[in-house]
Amino acid sequence: MAGDKKKHFTLVWTDTFVRTARKFLRRHPELAGIFRDVLSLLEIDPTTPRLHIHPLQGKHQGKHAIKLTYDYRIVFILKIVGRNVILLDVGSHDEVYHI
Average confidence (pLDDT) over 20-47: 93
* Full set of structural domains in the chain with CATH: 10-96 (3.30.2310.20)
Judge whether residue 64 has pLDDT over 80.
yes
What is the predicted pLDDT for the residue at 4? 53
- How far CA 13 is from CA of 2, 7, 22, in Å, comes to 19, 16, 12
Give the DSSP letter of residue 95. H
Instruction: Say whether pLDDT at 73 is over 90.
Output: no
Q: What does the mean pLDDT of the chain come to?
A: 86
3-state class of 40 per DSSP?
helix
pLDDT at 81: 63
Taking CA atoms, 37 is separated from 1, 30, 34, 57, 94, in Å, by 7, 13, 5, 26, 23
This prediction has a pTM of 0.84
How far is Cα 87 from Cα 77, in angstroms, rounded to an integer?
7
